[in-house]
Amino acid sequence: MRAGEWVVRLACLNFLWILFTLLGVGILGLFPATAAVFSVIRKGLVDEGKTFPLFRTFWSFYRADWIPMNILMLVYSVMGLGLFLDFRLVRGWEGAAQPWVVLFLVFALSVYLLSLIHLFPLYAHYRMKLHEYVLQSFLITLYRPLSSALMGGAVYLMYAAMTWLPGTLPVFAVSLPAVVVMALSFRTFRSIDPSTAIPSTGWAGVGKKHA
């Protein structure tokens, strides 16, 4: 019954992500809606065994985080655009240095994507200044490369599996990977900061900005 309840709530949460992403005019709703998914999942894990209104809780996170998450989206968009332009520029190069530059850009792109995955659980769990979220997401990626690679691989495998299972992507595309990412992130947080403990009855966050 608990597993069935989780499945239903994750499906509803994914529907809310789609709805509020569209209500945010697509691109402007993407980061706030994704952050709200992680915050709701964190709240469900912290308050294990307690029920709370899913829509109202999601909306409260979405509304509170709309501006800061769009600022973070702008920062990551600029970085992503810079990497894309670098790849375009390197394609026209000739010489022995090109493979090494391409290899470095692939490494930079990998760190960028993994740091983006780290951003949302960091934002859901800790209270920081906006620039600190960006800095810490990159530092964790570099400081815990194996954990970061495991997280990225888990997300990739889940999406690969869902592409082979018709109908699962619109139902669990964001909510299910968010649960796994939050779990792996919590292990990383605990290894870096032992005060971020996980009690036997659930997860207890440190310095969370939300109730």
Show the CA angle centred on residue 135, arms to residues 179 and 157, nearest 5°: 30
Residue 18 lies in a domain: yes
Residue 210 lies in a domain: no
What is the per-residue pLDDT for 197? 43
What is the per-residue pLDDT for 36? 96
Residue 54 lies in a domain: yes
What is the per-residue pLDDT for 207? 38
Residue 62 backbone phi and psi in degrees, to 5 = -60, -45
Q: Where are the alpha helices (DSSP H) in the chain?
A: 2-23, 27-46, 54-91, 98-125, 130-143, 145-164, 169-172, 175-192
Whole-number Å distance between alpha carbons of 210 and 175 = 19
Residue 168 lies in a domain: yes
**Rg of the chain, C-alpha, whole Å:** 18
Nearest residue to 114 (alpha-carbon basis) of 144, 91, 86: 144
- Cβ pair 210, 64 in contact under 8 A: yes
Nearest residue to 13 (alpha-carbon basis) of 70, 66, 56: 56
Residue 95 lies in a domain: yes
Nearest residue to 120 (alpha-carbon basis) of 143, 144, 136, 142: 136
Nearest residue to 118 (alpha-carbon basis) of 21, 184, 31, 206: 184
What is the per-residue pLDDT for 52? 80
Residue 201 lies in a domain: no
What is the per-residue pLDDT for 178? 95
- Reported for 105-112, long-range contacts at CB under 8 A and 24+ positions apart, including other chains, are 108/83, 109/83, 110/152, 111/138, 111/141, 111/142, 112/76, 112/79, 112/80, 112/83
What is the per-residue pLDDT for 129? 92
Q: Which amino acid is at 152?
A: G
Q: Model pTM?
A: 0.86
Q: How many domains does the chain have?
A: 1
What is the per-residue pLDDT for 32? 95
Domain that holds residue 12: 2-192
Residue 110 lies in a domain: yes
Each residue's pLDDT, cut to its tens digit, for the chain (211 residues) gives 777 777 888 999 999 999 999 988 778 999 999 999 999 999 887 766 567 889 999 999 999 999 999 999 999 999 999 999 988 888 777 766 677 888 999 999 999 999 999 999 999 998 899 999 999 999 999 999 999 999 999 999 999 999 898 788 889 999 999 999 998 998 888 887 765 543 322 323 333 444 3
Residue 204 lies in a domain: no
